A and B are shown apart, each in its own frame.
Chain A
Amino acid sequence: MNPTDRIYTKDHEWSKIEGNTARVGLTAYAQEHLGDIVFVDLPPVGKEVKQGELLLVVESVKAASDVYSPLSGKVVEVNEALASNPEKINQDAFGEGWVVVLEIADPGEAANLLSAADYDTLLASQH
């Protein structure tokens, strides 16, 4: 069961809308499948991204994987703690493992993302 206070992409990113910003992270499913995360290539604060475009890269012992931006906007905060403790994503994907905060460019785009219930259904259909 994924937390119901946020919305999801089918690529396993979550966004939690907080006013005109969104906190973004990887889902528990994503971290479990990536395995132990060893490096997070954080974007610079101020970077502008479009929905579905490359936001950052995470590297695990298995693979380097692209993380796509769930929404369009500007990066206003990055989780600096991940630079020295990337394992926070494995330990607490929905909490301390958040990756960036975006200033939302188009609130309407949230409609393109999945509810927690829909995301649960998506995961149930995968193995």
Chain B
Amino acid sequence: MSELIFEKSKHGCTGCSLTHLDVPQAEIDIPTRAGIGLPTLSEPEVVRHFTNLSRKNFALDIGFYPLGSCTMKYNPKVNEDMAALPGFAQLHPYQPDSSAQGALELLWELDRALCEITGMDRFTLQPAAGAHGELTGLFLIARYFQEKGQKRDIVLVPDSAHGTNPASAALAGCQVVVVRSDSRGGVDLEDLKAKLSDRVMALMLTNPNTLGLFDENILTIAELVHAVGGLLYYDGANLEGTCGYARPGDMGFDVVHVNLHKTFSTPHGGGGPGSGPVGVKEMLEPFLPVPVVTKKADGAFALDWERPQTIGMMRSFLGNFLVAVKAYTYILSLGGTGLRQMTADAVLNANYLLSLVKGTYELPYDRICKHEFVLSTHKFGQWGLKVTDVAKRLLDKGFHAPTIAFPLIVDGALMVEPTETESKGTLESFAKALLEIEEEARTHPELLKEAPRHTPVRRIDDVAANRSPVLRWK
């Protein structure tokens, strides 16, 4: 491990020299840098420290990153160029609407674009990420039933759901009830019927689901949920699988969240930051967080705070605005046909990669997938190996590991999402690595157990880290 910047700190070093004082020196009572524990180093030392750390990192700009359900597609640099335009980058959140018309227009237009893509009526761009969007959506639904004078407290989630779904429902004060998956990996309709009642607020569904499979019963599911008066919530984590071909709004969903940092190519992870806009059908519009961007009769844009039924603010100001700029850039760059092509290529890439490894790796739900697929590493157990060992060995071969051990309904799950931005060659190299690893597992299992060997840090002791976490430097 390299030294922390605090350990490199040398007393008396500084990154800059202040010019000679031309006013009398005065003593004021504030903590000095040393007093508050900040490190002191020269500028080159700081630059080298962080550059060296960045070289130990793995990123999309370095290699293939097939992290399932995360849509780790390449982030086009033109997005960054647009977000860096001074008119966007140097906005102040408190400047008058009249001097930020372009920014407000962009938010308005992005709202319109997302409505068209998802089939919804109105979006809020405030939520800062997917799970935040889920919480926002559940607050909107709760408020809707409150206004209708109905007491509903149950949120249904399939057993294949992202863990954030039950977590968001619990945080919103709801009771979570799990619905089983059927043998094809979709929602078990009989189990759903058994769990529907007039206490059900919503069913949260990801479609395509976390197995990368489209639930063809979606119209029946929507009918069943609506028949008991409940609403249907769409987790947009997998919008990549149907974008441009099918719209959640047309499937019967009442509330959706989309992840700009997944489907719409904005940076992801490590503080991205994310953005999880929430779209609603008309009946939920009065409850959206304030402020809402409006377009006046004369074409000018304004922020509307006068919405008496609003759930309030979900985040300061208008959300992660520059992320919205990047996503809007992406949507305009691709256009409608480009977004369809994006989805088609993502699905083609996933199915091609799957065809190269299927047979060597088990595919518990054997169907044509959408943008991702889930393999089982169950058989590695006979060689004393677990899915973690497969994932760590992939690091040695220069790839980021897929999502592992999720969804929980697949034993030793390896969830692979290649995205549309990878070439045929990259997919083939990754497939080759997976096949080699299976061969190594049979002949030299220690290669997997001891992996990774070629990364800056070898295997992390995650058990010790969880049992006795060290949460501060000293």
A38 to B468, CA, bound (A): 9
B463 touches A36 (CB 8 A): yes
**Interchain nearest-CB distance for B103 vs A (Å):** 41
Q: How many residues of A contact B (CB 8 A)?
A: 12
A86 to B163, CA, bound (A): 23
Q: Which of B374-406 contact A (CB under 8 A)?
A: 378, 386, 405
Q: Which residues of B contact A62 (CB under 8 A)?
A: 405
Task: Knowing that A35-B386, A36-B463, A61-B463 touch, tell me 10 more A-B residue pairs with CB under 8 angstroms.
Answer: A35-B405, A36-B462, A36-B466, A38-B463, A39-B466, A39-B467, A61-B462, A61-B466, A63-B163, A127-B378
Q: Does B285 contact A (CB under 8 A)?
A: no
A65 to B408, CA, bound (A): 11
A127 touches B411 (CB 8 A): yes
**Interchain nearest-CB distance for A76 vs B (Å):** 27
**Given A38-B467, A86-B467, A127-B378, residue A63 in contact with residue B408 (CB < 8 A):** yes
If over half of A's interface residues share one DSSP class (helix, strand or loop), that class is named, otherwise mixed; here it is loop
Q: How many residues of B contact A (CB 8 A)?
A: 10
6 A-B pairs closest in CB distance: A38-B466, A36-B463, A38-B467, A62-B405, A61-B462, A61-B466
A-B contact pairs, 14 of them (CB 8 A): A33-B411, A35-B386, A35-B405, A36-B462, A36-B463, A36-B466, A38-B463, A38-B466, A39-B467, A61-B462, A63-B163, A63-B408, A86-B467, A127-B378
A59 to B463, CA, bound (A): 11
With CB as the reference atom, state the residue of chain B lying closest to A38: B466
Q: Which residues of B contact A38 (CB under 8 A)?
A: 463, 466-467
**Interchain nearest-CB distance for B280 vs A (Å):** 31
Q: Which of A58-74 contact B (CB under 8 A)?
A: 59, 61-63
**Interchain nearest-CB distance for B29 vs A (Å):** 45
Q: Which residues of A contact B411 (CB under 8 A)?
A: 33, 127
With CB as the reference atom, state the residue of chain A lying closest to B469: A38
- Chain B interface (Cβ < 8 Å from any Cβ of A): 163, 378, 386, 405, 408, 411, 462-463, 466-467
A38 to B132, CA, bound (A): 27
Q: Which residues of B contact A36 (CB under 8 A)?
A: 462-463, 466
**Interchain nearest-CB distance for B385 vs A (Å):** 13
Q: Which residues of A contact B462 (CB under 8 A)?
A: 36, 61
A38 to B405, CA, bound (A): 16
A51 to B209, CA, bound (A): 33
A115 to B467, CA, bound (A): 34
With CB as the reference atom, state the residue of chain B lying closest to A86: B467
Instruction: Name, among B163, B408, B462, B463, the residue most crowded by chain A CB atoms within 10 Å (CB to CB).
Output: B463
A87 to B466, CA, bound (A): 12
A62 to B408, CA, bound (A): 9
A63 to B406, CA, bound (A): 10
A39 to B405, CA, bound (A): 19
Q: Which residues of B contact A63 (CB under 8 A)?
A: 163, 405, 408
Q: Which residues of B contact A39 (CB under 8 A)?
A: 466-467
With CB as the reference atom, state the residue of chain B lying closest to A61: B462
A80 to B212, CA, bound (A): 43
Q: Which residues of B contact A59 (CB under 8 A)?
A: 466
**Interchain nearest-CB distance for A117 vs B (Å):** 24
Instruction: Name, among B405, B411, B466, the residue most crowded by chain A CB atoms within 10 Å (CB to CB).
Output: B466
**Interchain nearest-CB distance for A23 vs B (Å):** 24
With CB as the reference atom, state the residue of chain B lying closest to A33: B411
A102 to B466, CA, bound (A): 29
A16 to B176, CA, bound (A): 30
A36 to B462, CA, bound (A): 9
Q: Which residues of B contact A33 (CB under 8 A)?
A: 411
A12 to B163, CA, bound (A): 21
With CB as the reference atom, state the residue of chain A lying closest to B408: A63
Q: Which residues of A contact B408 (CB under 8 A)?
A: 63
Q: Which residues of A contact B405 (CB under 8 A)?
A: 35, 62-63
Q: Which residues of B contact A127 (CB under 8 A)?
A: 378, 411
1/0 contact trace for A20-57 toward B, CB 8 Å? Answer: 00000000000001011011000000000000000000
With CB as the reference atom, state the residue of chain B lying closest to A126: B411
Instruction: Name, among B163, B386, B405, the residue most crowded by chain A CB atoms within 10 Å (CB to CB).
Output: B405
Q: Which residues of B contact A35 (CB under 8 A)?
A: 386, 405
1/0 contact trace for A86-99 toward B, CB 8 Å? Answer: 11000000000000
Q: Which residues of A contact B466 (CB under 8 A)?
A: 36, 38-39, 59, 61
**Interchain nearest-CB distance for B424 vs A (Å):** 34
With CB as the reference atom, state the residue of chain B lying closest to A84: B467
A87 to B462, CA, bound (A): 13
1/0 contact trace for A80-123 toward B, CB 8 Å? Answer: 00000011000000000000000000000000000000000000
A32 to B467, CA, bound (A): 18
**Interchain nearest-CB distance for A73 vs B (Å):** 24
A38 to B60, CA, bound (A): 32
A39 to B386, CA, bound (A): 21
With CB as the reference atom, state the residue of chain A lying closest to B163: A63
With CB as the reference atom, state the residue of chain B lying closest to A60: B466
A33 to B410, CA, bound (A): 11
**Interchain nearest-CB distance for A85 vs B (Å):** 9
**Interchain nearest-CB distance for A104 vs B (Å):** 28
With CB as the reference atom, state the residue of chain A lying closest to B466: A38
With CB as the reference atom, state the residue of chain A lying closest to B167: A64
**Interchain nearest-CB distance for B363 vs A (Å):** 14
Q: Which residues of A contact B386 (CB under 8 A)?
A: 35
With CB as the reference atom, state the residue of chain A lying closest to B411: A127
A127 to B377, CA, bound (A): 12
